[in-house]
Each structure stands twice: as C-alpha cells, then as structure tokens.
Structure 1
C-alpha cells in the first residue's frame, strides 16, 4: 500500500510510491566495465518542499552476496509538474552531473526518464547519456538503466529489484498504534 505523508507537498503526491528506504540487488553489465551483481540502498525523502531528495549507494557483491567494495553513489532531486512531467537533477561520485526529463505513466506508478544534459569531469570516463525506467510492482521498486558512450550505443547496463525497508523507528511506531488484541491474537483475525 502506498502511504501519502500529511506533510508531503501536494505536487509530489503522484511520486509518493517512491518515498522511503529501499534495498535489494541487481546486475551491472556494460562493455569495458566489470560485469557484476550489486547490492543497492536507495532513499527517497522529502522535507515539505516541492521535490524529493534521492540518494543511492551501490556496491559489488561476491558470489555469496557479500559486499566486496563500493560501486557507485548518486544523489539528486526529483520534481513533477501538474502534467505528470518528471525532472531529475542527479550527481554521481564518478564525476557526472545529469539532468533527466521524463513522464509518469497514466494509471500506473512507472516513470520513464531520459538524459537531457550531461556534464562530466575529466576523470569521469566516457558517458554521453542514458535512459531509466522506474516502476512500483507488487510493492517493490524496480528499475533498469541504459547508458551510451561515444564508443557504445545506448544499451541496458544496470537493473535492480528493491524492497521497502522498515526501520526500527517505523516498527516502534507500528507497535504504538496497534489495536488492543486478545492475549492469543487469534480473535484479531475473526
């Protein structure tokens, strides 16, 4: 179920499905780069203004699913207008700044994005643009990213399946708001 915080800016209600802490795993595969499985933690948060704050950390996983080393960090800001047009400003630790534009699909929580502008530092390596698709599927967040360089045409390079993370604070809040239940708890289901 998608919850809409009471202090969420009204313009952001269509993006409420993104809010929260997410964690999961995915696959990275692009010519000239190491093919690997990766873990990911993503947070979409808000402070009442008309944007969502986005932070993503990924790390390489070994064959047993254990963290090996950091892979990539992204941070950014997401906005949406009344016509369901989405804009994202994103910075990556690899020395890349991107502006993404896209659209929230009609009648489903899915966002298609494409880069409009890319700025790179000299150390960042080749990159000329990308596409991303984010979707909320059966209470999970899934995404796939495509990437292009001057040498490689646009092609998929990363995808992940993320689940909502419940924090200890959220568990405590749920516990405080539980209805009175009989000692055996079974009556709650009758």
Structure 2
C-alpha cells in the first residue's frame, strides 16, 4: 500500500466523523484527538544532568471498538527551540475496564520498554495510572515501575511520568503541556 492510500477500515481522532464512539470509551473520551506541544525530560533521565526540552505530537484514535489507540512522537529541542532530532516514540492502547472509571494503558516504546498501567479516572478529565507490569529488552532503560498522571486543564492536555530504576524511588521523567490541534 502506498502512503496516500486510504485504509479499508475506519480510524478516527474526530468524533464528528467515522465510526460511532463506543459507550465503553466515556471515561477516556476527552483524550480523543491530536495534541501538540512541548515538555521537559528530567535531567537524571536525559543523561546530561540538566532538564532537556522536547516537542511532542500525540494522537488518540478509535475505530468504533472499546479502546483508544495511542501514538506519541517526540523530538529534542535546543534551549532556543531549534529541533535537534527525533527522540522517544511510543504506541499503545487505553482500555476502559468494566462499567466504572477503571482504565488500563498498554505502552510500548521504541527503546525496548513495555509498560502495563492500571488506574482510573480521578475526574472526568484526569487519570492516574501506575504500572502493574514492566518488561524490557536487554538494552532498554532499567525501569522497574512508573506512574503516569494525565489531565485536561483549561483545554490543554498535561501529563507527568515518574519512573523508578531498581529499588530506587520514583523520579520525574518527563512532563508536557499539549494543545489540541484536531
């Protein structure tokens, strides 16, 4: 298939078009769409000891079934906002569980890290998730547990990821503020 060929199945980040949104998605529906903005990678994680700026594009889509597909791409930025090159890339699925506000998040990163989070909607526009399982390839970061907080504040998607290495404490890893672009 060429890059400009339409897929034979629907996939959308816009609730106004495409398949009907499943009722199962009500607890994560505010995430649906495309988001773009900037964030900070924690100094301990960046290897430089100093915080590092990054740009980010995130997309949450659905195909009519009871989950959101998640794609995220980041790129490093200089202090004056110039693009240095590609950085962290993740894909996964947000899966509401049961009739309540419980949710699972499955995330795989190109760096060889696989994280399974469980948590719940704290409000209609915020979610708190902690790892239930972390798996990694031999050369992946030595992450043993993590917590992700997401919230929509004044129309912007804001999030923070804290991770632990070994038996160490959770440390700020990355955070961002993203504006809805679609």
TM-score by length of 1: 0.81
Match of 1:184 in 2: none
Tell me by how many angstroms 1:152 deviates: 3.8
Q: Deviations over 1:129-172 (max 9, x none)?
A: 10010001111100011010016421212110000114xxxxxx
Deviation at 1:123, TM superposition (A): 1.0
Quote the Cα distance in structure 2 between the aligned partners of 1:100 and 1:125.
17
CA distance in 2, matches of 1:31, 1:151: 16
Q: Residue 119 of structure 2 corresponds to which residue in structure 1?
A: 102
Q: Which residue of 2 aligns with 1:62?
A: 78
**Structural RMSD (CA):** 1.6
Q: What is the SS of the residue equivalent to 1:11?
A: helix
Does 2:105 correspond to 1:88? yes
TM superposition score normalised by structure 2: 0.84
Asked if the contact 1:4–1:13 (Cα under 8 Å) also holds between the matched residues in 2, the reply is no
Deviations 1:97-119 (A, max 9, x none): 1110000014x310000000011
Separation in structure 2 between the aligned mates of residue 4 and residue 57 of structure 1, nearest angstrom? 22
Gaps of 5+ in 1: 167-190
Separation in 1 of the partners of 2:43 and 2:101? 31
Structure with the larger helix share: 1
Among 29, 34, 39, the residue aligned to 1:26 = 39
Q: Deviations over 1:1-29 (max 9, x none)?
A: xx855711111022111011100001111
User: Which is richer in strand?
Assistant: 2
- The count of corresponding residues between Structure 1 and Structure 2 is 163
Q: Structure 2: which 5+ runs fail to align?
A: 1-13
